[in-house]
């Protein structure tokens, strides 16, 4: 027996305090059952919708499976679990021990009818966190809701559960390693099937992510499994690791973990043994530290590097926004310095960069920074990491991809951006993740403190949201009363600089950044 809206509303009203003026939404029919959310003053929110079966037990390290049909009306009024992680990157996300985490949220502007004939543009948000942490729960999409855009935010598997080689695979030439990417694709498929029931346009979907979410955007752009699932893309601070890792790299990590957990025998036995281990055993520092951000060429989700895919014209979009922040590295310097409880020294500097870049560290990064007492190694680390991990790779990517698609380049440069992580010995400036507070209302990470935007920053926020919203709607960020944002071309390199004194078009040059050739 299906509960009526009235009886459901009665039950819900009894479960909340009288101080909340929430009402239940109309029931929405989806491919896996009926869903009911919460109607607020200016939006309708559907939170904690399962888009795949829980990847637990025998489903650990398997491709996501479509959620079975729900028997009753599903109440989607609460945020769901964050995917398992013990990493929070200085307050970026909450820790969690849950593998049951494949949920998404749909936020619908109040003035968008739930009639299928009403088709609002859709923003699909992929959270960042180094593919090791992060969740949809930390982002308030109100600014985009105010622009008439439906926003979908998702969780996907992380670290040892999301980017792991399962030794028991049938096809030895291909593997399910990028499981977190496959989760994103499963969520995109769900959106394509169901978003019109919420009033959205399945033919006008823009994927957007920051940091590892930005790299996830690139992975989806070049993955054959993402074809026809979206039309446009926005990547923030995500143009790194373009060469990607390979199956052999993933196999070595699995072998190391199997030895640590005493899992021996043939592939089937090792896989079964690893699947039997509790979640917590994969979240210990000696295991979780084996996973760093970056996707694998697994011959399933990705067949070649991003650069090779550009060269061979294998990509899934025709227009894109791609950019970086001026002081990307200071965020990571903050994570390290706060962990150490002191300023970085030469050994910290070399060790941290070597952990990121391996054999290329000495060649490309450490130049004339020998041990001495005059060098500020926290500042040196911040500058080198920002340049070589984010800024230079973004310029290189834009140089190549702008030959193939309409590409709009930006640099976020507000050096007074509000901080949600603890202060350190250097100024954070326009740090990695610093722009999120300008695009998502009251963003503060998971554990950070909220610093409101000042009036000039609030104006910059409105400007950025207007550009983003125009692009999400039409594929062109330009609009009335906005500085004209011309496309990036290899010979002109037009880049829009976002500062509190307004947006300004500049010519970005890799030579100005001393980028390696």
Instruction: Please report whether residue 3 resides in a domain.
Output: no
Instruction: Let me know: does 66 contact 52? Beta carbons within 8 Å.
Output: yes
CA-nearest of 374, 370, 467 to 412 is 467
CA-nearest of 125, 48, 126 to 80 is 48
Instruction: Please report whether residue 248 resides in a domain.
Output: yes
Positions of the chain with pLDDT under 70 = 1-21, 90-93, 113-116, 170-174, 242, 293, 364, 367-368, 446-448, 510-511, 517
Which of the 8 DSSP states describes residue 103? Answer: E
Residues 360 and 287 in one domain: no
Residues 325 and 392 in one domain: yes
pLDDT of residue 343: 96
* Cα-Cα end-to-end distance for the chain: 67
What DSSP assignment string belongs to 254-323? HHHHHHHTT--SSHHHHHHHHHHS-GGGGSSHHHHTT--S--EE-SSS-SS-HHHHHHTT--S-SEEEEE
Residues 328 and 304 in one domain: no
Task: State how far the Cα of 165 lies from the Cα of 17, in Å rounded to an integer.
Answer: 47
pLDDT of residue 445: 75
Residue 355: phi, psi to the nearest 5? -60, -30
3-state secondary structure of 82: coil
Total of domains in the chain: 2
Residues 444 and 325 in one domain: yes
List the helix and strand counts (H, then E) for the chain: 16, 15
pLDDT of residue 114: 63
H helices present in 24-123, as ranges: none
Q: Look at the chain and count its residues.
A: 517
User: At which residue do the structure tokens 């554990």 appear?
Assistant: 447
Domain boundary among 265, 289, 309: 309
Residues 187 and 213 in one domain: yes
Instruction: Please report whether residue 5 resides in a domain.
Output: no
Q: Which of 96, 135, 211, 288 is catalytic?
A: 211
What's the domain range around 467?
A: 318-506
Residues 125 and 200 in one domain: yes
Q: Could you count the other beta carbons within 10 Å of the beta carbon of residue 459?
A: 14
Residues 220 and 158 in one domain: yes
Secondary structure of 211-248 in HEC code, one letter for each residue: CHHHHHHHHHHHCHHHCCCCCEEEEECCCCCCCCEEHH
pLDDT of residue 89: 75
Instruction: Please report whether residue 145 resides in a domain.
Output: yes
H/E stretch holding 437:
helix 436-439
Q: Which two tokens stand for residue 80?
A: 């769901």
Q: Which two tokens stand for residue 512?
A: 């100005």
Question: Is residue 135 among the annotated active site residues?
Answer: no
Q: Which two tokens stand for residue 405?
A: 């698609």
Task: State how far the Cα of 430 lies from the Cα of 417, in Å rounded to an integer.
Answer: 6
- Kindly report each contact of residues 477-480 with a partner whose C-beta sits within 8 Å and lies 24 or more positions away, as own/partner: 477/321, 477/408
3-state secondary structure of 93: coil
Domain boundary among 241, 276, 309: 309
Residues 30 and 102 in one domain: yes
Using a 10 angstrom Cβ sphere, with 0-12 exposed, 13-18 middle and 19 or more buried, the burial of residue 313 is exposed
Instruction: Please report whether residue 129 resides in a domain.
Output: yes
CA trace torsion 41, 46, 47, 50 (10° rounding): 180
290: Cβ–Cβ under 8 A, 6 or more apart, which residues?
160, 253, 256, 257
Q: Which of 328, 337, 383, 435 is catalytic?
A: 328
Which of the 8 DSSP states describes residue 461? Answer: H
Q: Which two tokens stand for residue 3?
A: 């509960």
Q: Which two tokens stand for residue 394?
A: 């973004």
Instruction: Please report whether residue 9 resides in a domain.
Output: no
Residues 261 and 340 in one domain: no
Instruction: Let me know: does 161 contact 99? Beta carbons within 8 Å.
Output: yes
Domain boundary among 287, 309, 331: 309
Q: What is the CATH number of the domain that holds 466?
A: 3.40.50.1820
Residues 236 and 168 in one domain: yes
CA trace torsion 240, 303, 159, 175 (10° rounding): -170
CA-nearest of 289, 251, 285 to 270 is 251
Q: Is the dihedral of CA 481, 487, 493, 499 positive or negative?
A: positive
pLDDT digit string, tens, across residues 492-514: 899 999 999 999 999 877 667 77
- Burial call 262-292: b when 16+ CB within 10 Å, e when fewer: ebeeeeeebbebbbeeeeeebbeeebbebbe
Instruction: Please report whether residue 513 resides in a domain.
Output: no
Instruction: Let me know: does 217 contact 211? Beta carbons within 8 Å.
Output: no
pLDDT digit string, tens, across residues 38-80: 999 999 999 999 999 999 999 999 999 999 999 899 999 999 9
Residues 137 and 209 in one domain: yes
Q: How far is CA 517 from CA 158, 364, 393, in A?
A: 33, 10, 11
Task: State how far the Cα of 210 lies from the Cα of 233, in Å rounded to an integer.
Answer: 11
List the beta strands (DSSP E) in 342-493: 406-412
Question: Is residue 383 among the annotated active site residues?
Answer: no
Q: Could you count the other beta carbons within 10 Å of the beta carbon of residue 414?
A: 25
Residues 294 and 353 in one domain: no
Instruction: Please report whether residue 74 resides in a domain.
Output: yes
Task: State how far the Cα of 368 lies from the Cα of 364, in Å rounded to an integer.
Answer: 11
């Amino acid at each position: 027996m299906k509960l009526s809206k009235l009886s459901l509303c009665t039950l819900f009203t009894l479960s909340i305090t009288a101080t909340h003026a929430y009402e239940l939404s109309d029931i929405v029919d989806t491919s896996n059952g009926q869903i009911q959310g919460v109607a607020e003053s200016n939006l309708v929110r559907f939170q904690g919708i399962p888009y795949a079966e829980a990847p637990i037990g025998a489903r650990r390290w398997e491709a996501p499976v479509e959620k079975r049909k729900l028997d009753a009306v599903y109440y989607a009024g609460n945020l769901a679990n964050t995917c398992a992680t013990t990493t929070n990157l200085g307050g970026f996300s909450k820790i969690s021990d849950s593998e049951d985490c494949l949920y998404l949220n749909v936020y619908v502007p109040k003035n968008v009818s739930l009639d299928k004939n009403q088709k609002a543009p859709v923003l699909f948000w992929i959270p960042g966190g180094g593919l090791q942490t992060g969740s949809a729960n930390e982002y308030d999409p109100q600014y985009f809701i105010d622009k008439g855009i439906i926003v979908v935010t998702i969780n996907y598997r992380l670290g040892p559960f999301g980017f792991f080689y399962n030794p028991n695979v049938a096809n030895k030439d291909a593997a399910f390693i990028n499981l977190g990417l496959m989760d994103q694709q499963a969520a995109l498929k769900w959106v394509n099937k169901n978003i019109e029931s919420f009033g959205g346009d399945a033919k006008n979907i823009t994927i957007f992510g920051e940091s590892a979410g930005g790299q996830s955007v690139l992975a989806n752009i070049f993955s054959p499994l993402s074809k026809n699932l979206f039309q446009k893309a926005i990547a923030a601070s995500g143009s790194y690791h373009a060469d990607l890792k390979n199956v052999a790299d993933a196999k070595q990590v699995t072998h190391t973990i199997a030895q640590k957990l005493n899992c021996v025998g043939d592939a089937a036995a090792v896989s079964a043994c690893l699947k039997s281990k509790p979640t917590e055993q994969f979240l210990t520092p000696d295991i979780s530290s084996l996973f760093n951000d970056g996707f694998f060429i697994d011959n399933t989700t990705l067949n070649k590097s991003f650069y090779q895919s550009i060269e061979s014209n294998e990509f899934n979009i025709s227009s894109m926004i791609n950019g970086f922040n001026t002081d990307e590295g200071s965020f990571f310097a903050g994570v390290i310095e706060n962990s150490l409880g002191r300023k970085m020294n030469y050994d910290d500097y070399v060790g941290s960069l070597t952990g990121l870049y391996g054999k290329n560290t000495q060649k490309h990064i450490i130049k004339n920074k020998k041990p001495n007492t005059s060098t500020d190694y926290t500042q040196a680390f911040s500058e080198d990491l920002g340049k070589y991990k984010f800024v230079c790779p973004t310029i290189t990517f834009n140089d190549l991809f702008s030959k193939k698609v309409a590409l709009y380049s930006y640099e976020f440069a507000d050096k007074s951006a509000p901080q949600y992580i603890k202060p350190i010995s250097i100024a954070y400036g326009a740090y990695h993740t610093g722009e999120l507070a300008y695009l998502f209302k009251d963003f503060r990470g998971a554990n950070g403190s909220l610093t409101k935007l000042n009036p000039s920053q609030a104006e910059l926020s409105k400007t950025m949201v207007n550009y983003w919203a125009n692009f999400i709607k039409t594929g062109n960020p330009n609009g009335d009363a906005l500085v004209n944002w011309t496309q990036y071309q290899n010979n002109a390199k037009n880049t829009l600089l976002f500062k509190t004194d307004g947006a300004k078009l500049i010519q970005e040059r890799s030579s100005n950044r001393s980028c390696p050739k």
